[in-house]
């Protein structure tokens, strides 16, 4: 169906298919639809004479009301759509109405002139296709409608009707014979189609099974590879976890020895300053700087010497501890670097088996303290004097 033209509100350009109770109807304006409806009302006006058929006439009359609403409100498309839907519903869909141009409509109108009741029954059967078999007139009306729609004139006599029916029977028999002849060919075609379909199903099943086997094999390989990879990760994790404790230990050791380096550096500086001040104070107290050398007693010299020896010895011990902590700090950092390098080589699978033992021996070698073995307490004053002068007191 053509769409409505927006220029003129009354222009519609409808093409309505009213079959089976009508033909194709073409409308360009709403006024043409109104004229068409008024012609229908005029044709079926005789039905308004009996209450049994007046409902049919009222349905036709309702279309005129729809036309008036659509023409009176041309800017509202809802009224136009309702008019179109009602026409299609009454004639084509529900088949409640019969167009006056149909042969059965003229036949019913002709019967109305002689027998209104029979004409009403014919109209009811033509629109509903139902009748009460208990009522003879209803069956008679259905028979007349079927004859008329089959192209047979009920007024031509039973002999002519019989001949027409015989012709219909002959045509049907010929069609049945031709169909019977073509049946083997159709059966062969069906068998060929069936065989081809079954072969295609078998081929598709074989392809599906092959694809499934390949998918299963691929899945198994991937699962095996995943398991191997997981085992490698577990082994690496276990090795890494085993070396995490040494890394943590040597990290703490390096921090502790760094603190020792800083502490002993400060202590050495403080000890040096304190020793220098103490020795200076001892010299001042003994009067070595103000009296003559001949007047200096051995006790004063011994006191200054004792202060100097203990100060130098204390500074020497602090320096040794400072160097020891520096040595141990460097050793701890080296061990951390070696352990991390060992883990990296393990992860990349680039470490030969022969080299693992050497690396582990280097990592877990004994740690030296860094303290010189001859660090000891100062000798007694007499031993120190004998050692320095070569004479006994």
The reported pLDDT for the residue numbered 260 is 84
Alpha carbon distance 109, 331 (integer Å): 125
Same domain? 29 vs 148? yes
Alpha carbon distance 95, 373 (integer Å): 125
- Name the packing angle between helices 298-348 and 381-389 (round to 10°): 90
The reported pLDDT for the residue numbered 2 is 43
Inform me whether the pLDDT recorded for 207 exceeds 60.
yes
Inform me whether the pLDDT recorded for 301 exceeds 70.
no
Contact 127/140 with Cβ under 8 angstroms? no
**CA distances in angstroms from 199 to 185, 203, 211, 212, 286, listed in the order given:** 21, 6, 18, 20, 126
End residue of a domain, out of 109, 136, 157: 157
Give strand pairing partners of 29. Answer: 11
Report, as an integer, the average pLDDT of 66-75: 83
Same domain? 254 vs 353? yes
Residue 31 lies in a domain: yes
Same domain? 137 vs 253? no
Residue 182 lies in a domain: no
End residue of a domain, out of 157, 184, 211: 157
Residue 203 lies in a domain: no
Inform me whether the pLDDT recorded for 152 exceeds 70.
no
Number of independent structural domains in the chain = 2
Residue 331 lies in a domain: yes
Q: How many CB atoms lie within 10 A of CB 141?
A: 25
The reported pLDDT for the residue numbered 285 is 67
* Residues 6+ positions from 257 with CB-CB distance below 8 Å: 325, 326, 328, 329, 332
pTM: 0.39
Same domain? 275 vs 384? yes
Report, as an integer, the average pLDDT of 187-196: 82
End residue of a domain, out of 157, 187, 213: 157
* Residues 6+ positions from 376 with CB-CB distance below 8 Å: none
Alpha carbon distance 157, 161 (integer Å): 6
Place of tokens 């020795």: 279
Domain span including residue 272: 244-389
Residue 188 lies in a domain: no
Alpha carbon distance 38, 71 (integer Å): 14
Same domain? 256 vs 374? yes
Residue 323 lies in a domain: yes
Q: Where are the beta strands (DSSP E) in the chain?
A: 11-17, 24-29
Same domain? 286 vs 382? yes
pLDDT tens, residue by residue, 312-361: 888 888 888 888 888 888 888 888 888 887 777 777 766 677 777 777 77
Same domain? 258 vs 371? yes
Same domain? 151 vs 259? no
Torsion of CA 189, 190, 191, 196, to 10 degrees: 90
Residue 134 lies in a domain: yes
> Which of 369, 389, 366 minimizes the C-alpha distance to 325?
369
Residue 320 lies in a domain: yes
pLDDT band, very low/low/confident/very high, at 376 (cuts 50, 70, 90): very low
Alpha carbon distance 66, 72 (integer Å): 10
């Amino acid at each position: 169906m053509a769409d409505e033209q927006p220029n003129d509100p009354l222009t519609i350009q409808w093409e309505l298919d009213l079959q089976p109770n009508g033909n194709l109807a073409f409308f360009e304006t709403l006024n043409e639809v109104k004229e068409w409806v008024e012609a229908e009302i005029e044709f079926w006006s005789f039905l308004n004479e009996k209450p049994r058929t007046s409902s049919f006439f009222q349905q036709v009359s309702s279309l005129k009301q729809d036309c008036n609403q659509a023409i009176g409100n041309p800017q509202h498309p809802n009224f136009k759509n309702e008019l179109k839907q009602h026409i299609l519903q009454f004639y084509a869909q529900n088949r409640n109405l019969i167009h006056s141009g149909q042969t059965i409509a003229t036949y019913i109108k002709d019967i109305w002139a002689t027998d209104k009741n029979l004409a009403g029954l014919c109209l009811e059967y033509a629109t509903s296709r139902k009748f009460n078999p208990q009522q003879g007139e209803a069956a008679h009306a259905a028979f007349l409608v079927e004859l008329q729609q089959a192209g047979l004139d009920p007024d031509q006599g039973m002999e002519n009707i019989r001949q027409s029916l015989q012709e219909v029977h002959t045509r049907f028999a010929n069609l049945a014979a031709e169909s019977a002849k073509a049946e083997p060919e159709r059966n062969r075609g069906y068998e060929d189609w069936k065989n081809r379909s079954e072969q295609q199903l078998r081929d598709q099943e074989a392809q599906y099974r092959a694809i499934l086997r390949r998918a299963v094999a691929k899945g198994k390989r991937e699962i095996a590879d995943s398991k191997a990879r997981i085992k490698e990760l577990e082994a690496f994790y276990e090795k890494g976890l085993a070396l995490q404790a040494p890394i943590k230990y040597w990290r703490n050791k390096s921090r502790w020895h760094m603190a020792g380096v800083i502490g002993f550096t400060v202590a050495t500086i403080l000890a040096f300053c304190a020793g220098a001040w103490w020795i200076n104070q001892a010299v001042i107290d003994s009067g070595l700087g103000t009296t003559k050398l001949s007047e200096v007693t051995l006790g004063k010299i011994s006191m200054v010497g004792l202060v100097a020896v203990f100060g130098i010895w204390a500074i020497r011990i602090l320096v040794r501890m400072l160097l020891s902590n520096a040595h141990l700090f460097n050793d701890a950092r080296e061990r951390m670097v070696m352990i991390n390098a060992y883990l990296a080589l393990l992860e990349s699978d680039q470490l030969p088996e022969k080299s693992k033992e050497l690396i582990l021996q280097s990592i877990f070698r004994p740690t030296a303290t860094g303290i010189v073995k001859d660090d000891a307490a100062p000798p007694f004053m007499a031993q120190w004097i004998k050692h320095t002068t070569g004479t006994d007191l």
